[in-house]
Structure 1
Amino acid sequence: MDRRKFIKYTSGTIVIAGITYYLTSDTFNFERADLDEIEKTKIPMQSDEMEILILASLAPSGHNTQPWFVKYHEPFHWTICNDKMRWLDGVDPMQRETILSIGAFLQNLEYAANNLGYSCEFNLLATTNQDEEIINVKLSKALNIQKFEIEKIRHRRTLRSHYLDKTISREDLDYVSEDETDFIRYYPNTSKEHLYLNEQTIEANRLQSYRDAAQTELANWIRFSNEDVEKYQDGLTPASMEIMGISGWIVRNFYDTQSVMKKDFREKSIAQVIEQVSQSAGWLVITSRDNSVLSLLDAGRRLQRIWLKVRDRNIAIHPMTQILEEEKTKTAVDNGIGIKENIQFLLRVGYVENYPEPVTLRRHINLFVNN
């Protein structure tokens, strides 16, 4: 039975006859707050270390793979590493996005450390995106260090829907891009570049949806059931994809990895992208000087600094990097929007009326710190 027939069927017999079952069984999307709080770590760690590393792990990553692990050497001395088991070879064969995500992790780490009165000494170890050991970190107590409001880290969220069409004001754009202007371009929804990026995003998603390697990879990182959510503590969940209510119940109970490979699922995904790009204030484009490991880490940190500001102004961010992941669209995008620098992020942005709490999962510290 295909999905269209299935939904038609569930709108009658299953949903009506099973409403009592729904109300008394699987009534909620598993969210980050539903994971048990960890009480102790397998490696003896000081409480400040735990807080810093947990906050660092709230960084964004493609498909929420969380592609980092931490080698613990001694108190406040760690190596941040690249977890090849979490690479997305289907859409990120050169691990560019992996290094960008580790950069965002480092930015969170530094902000969290500063908040507790520590300065960070970073020593780059990696020369390629595939190296396991990326950066050595040592923390030390410091006086008069500028503290960061870490609640911004805890409340950062990806929002995909309900964007307003109002363009970003100059005041808000200046606030968000402060000290980052050399590496940020904003294309409002009134510009020809905005229309171009919309069209190319749709095309890139169409290509990717029908490229089986990419679609299989996506399927493997979707946690359909609450049981898988508790088991893996990573990936995409119905809640993070903003599938709520009865629809969320159907997905959690009747969808699996094979569902993602069906034509109807692929077409529905493309239709959703078309709807998404039709709602926004425009695009933010983040660039870097080159594609070295250091520049990619810096670009990831830049993204995180911006992302931790936007909620103050009720601006949502939705990374849509498919243009950069598909060869056909990647080769044309620079000329299409007139950028000579290296594009690292394409971010759909827009004002929202409501800013819900984050729902994406995060692994317990025991799952990404070892010695």
Structure 2
Amino acid sequence: MKKVKRKISFLTISLSVLLVIVFSTILIASGAFLTPKYLEPWKKNYSAQFDDPRVNLASQGLLAASGHNMQPWIIRLDKENPNVFYLYADSKKLVQQVDPYARQTLISQGTFLEYVKIAGAEHGYDVGLDLFPEGEYDERNIKESMKLKPVAKVTLKKVEGIENVLYPYLFLMDTNRFEYENTTLTDQQIKQLNELSDKTGITIKIFQDHINVKNLGRFAIDGAKIESKIHRINIESGEIFRANEYKKNKYRYGFSVEGQGITGMKKHLMQGLLTLIPSMNNEKASADLFVKSTQIGVNHTPVYAMIMTKDNSRSNQVKAGMIYSRLVLTAHSIGFVMQPPSQVLEEYPEMKEQNNKIHREYALHGETIQMFVRMGKPTKEAPKSMRQDVREFIQ
């Protein structure tokens, strides 16, 4: 009897040791013990290390949303005028399968610029913007044109600092993919958001009636289903997926498991397993998870919003991005969050029918829908996503 007990005890200890080894291996593969340098720009004192006001403000601008978290920004400091820098779109960070005409990339220029303007006001700078000071792109050779022509000339002018009501919200995550509470906007809140519309013809439209919420939810789901089945897009997404802390610290842009709301110990278990067994992240599994998460989000969305421009010029794409940043921050200020289920607006051939359909139904005067978002009061706090060090953007 004693021998049996000793054998059971030995097996129990051996199993425990094996579990510890397996668990430790998974955590090490995840990089659980590394410092997440990719989160440093979210610290409120991060910008204080930069004496140059242009770099200081740009270090807060990089917290803005960007398409697929590519952060496609290049900053060139004017060597003669210490109050001027130029913003260029980074042609090396195009995601050409989902954004073949670089529309989302240009919107991302606007999100950055608006954050710089808001940070500037807080720190005592009037931020002047001159969009496309050397003319708009040559669309026949967009990549080369991006290298040669700046999106904006940014000029700083020292003024008396003004407390900006939106500034504190720069440090909150711009996108929340979780379920939302079943709470709609009040008439006053709708008025507040609509007032963000631009006088030049960039408008915000809010939808929270049952018919439109149901219809727009279908567009979000159909868009996700279409995109999830396209092999070349899945390959492109896989190339910018950072499976563990090592890769997140190396690249500091792109996708990660946090994008699916996976945090804490569960995050490290998932990252470790994906690193050790890459086949877990196969195309079908990723596609199914994407569609499922979209369906869950749609089922818990009380409000949708759109940003529309009267035409699809590059300048208006940038301006739409600026309005989007202001919409995100204003929504935060009233306790709402958002997420753009942007697939239905993308311009690759397989999405053409859905893209045309949503424009026929909602862009009644020939406008371009630049942004389509779900909105609501959050049920969970969104984890912060990767950000590069500002010095990586400066040339």
Q: TM-score range with shorter-chain normalisation? A: 0.7 to 0.9
2:319 corresponding residue in structure 1:
298
Confirm whether residue 111 of structure 1 aligns to residue 137 of structure 2: no
CA separation in 1, counterparts of 2:299 and 2:203?
25
For the pair shown, which has the larger CA radius of gyration, 1 or 2?
2
Evaluate the alpha carbon distance shift between residue 54 and residue 338 of structure 1 in structure 2; reply closer, same or farther with a 3 A threshold.
closer
Q: Please give the secondary structure, in 2, of the residue aligned with 1:266.
A: helix
Partner of 1:186: 206
1:166-213: CA deviation from partner (whole Å, max 9, x where unpaired): 22222222223324286111111x432222221122111111111112
Change (3 A) 1:220 1:306: same
Q: Which residues in structure 2 correspond to 1:157-176 (within 5 Å)?
A: 157-176=174-193
User: What is the match of residue 63 of structure 1?
Assistant: 68
| Structure 2 match to 1:345 | 371
Query: In structure 2, how many angstroms separate the alpha carbons of the residues matched to 1:254 and 1:90?
Result: 28
* 1:137 maps to 2:147: no
Deviations 1:62-81 (A, max 9, x none): 21000111011232211100
Q: Distance in 2 between matches of 1:180 and 1:199?
A: 26
1:307-318 → structure 2 map (5 Å cutoff): 307-318=328-339
**Separation of aligned partners in 2, 1:286 and 1:63:** 18
Distance 1:149 1:242, change over 3 A: same
| Structure 1: distance between partners of 2:345 and 2:315 | 19
SS in 2 for 1:255: helix
Bigger mean CA deviation after superposition, 192-201 or 217-226? 192-201
**Paired position in structure 2 for 1:46:** 51
Identify which of 20, 24, 41 aligns with 1:21. 24
User: Deviation of residue 121 (structure 1)?
Assistant: 2.6
Letter in 2 for 1:127: E
- Match for 1:176: what amino acid? L
Give distance in 2, aligned partners of 1:260 and 1:20: 19
Counterpart AA for 2:100: P
Following superposition, the deviation at residue 311 of structure 1 comes to 1.5
What's the RMSD between the two structures over aligned residues? Answer: 3.0
How big is the shift at 1:350?
0.8
CA contact (8 A) 1:168 1:351 kept: no
Partner of 2:168: 151
2:353 is aligned to 328
- Alignment CA distance shift 1:260-1:345 (3 Å): farther
Q: Which of 84, 87, 91 is the equivalent residue of 1:80? A: 87
Tell me the distance in 1 between the aligned counterparts of 2:358 and 2:266.
Answer: 36
The residue aligned with 1:361 is 386
Aligned residue type for 2:240: W
Return closer, same or farther for 1:282/1:176 CA change in 2, 3 Å cut-off.
same
Q: Aligned pair 1:276/2:297, yes or no?
A: yes
SS of alignment partner, residue 127 of structure 1:
coil
| CA shift for structure 1 position 249 | 2.4
Q: Aligned pair in 2 of structure 1 residues 145, 267: CA closer, same or farther (>3 Å)?
A: closer
Alignment counterpart, residue 90 of structure 1, candidates 97, 104, 117: 97
Does the 8 Å contact 2:38/2:248 carry over to 1? no
TM-score normalised according to structure 2 size: 0.80
Structure 2 unaligned regions, length at least 5: 1-14
* TM value normalised by structure 1: 0.85
* Percent of residue pairs bearing the same amino acid type: 19
1:118–1:145 Cα contact (<8 Å) kept: no
Answering whether residue 268 of structure 2 is matched by residue 286 of structure 1, we say: no
Change over 3 Å in CA distance of 1:336–1:28 after alignment to 2: farther
CA shift, 1:145, in A, is: 6.2
Query: Given the alignment of the two structures, is residue 207 of structure 1 paired with residue 210 of structure 2, yes or no?
Result: no
Instruction: Determine the structure 2 residue equivalent to 1:127.
Output: 136
AA aligned to 2:384 is V
**Which residue number in structure 2 is paired with residue 7 of structure 1?**
none
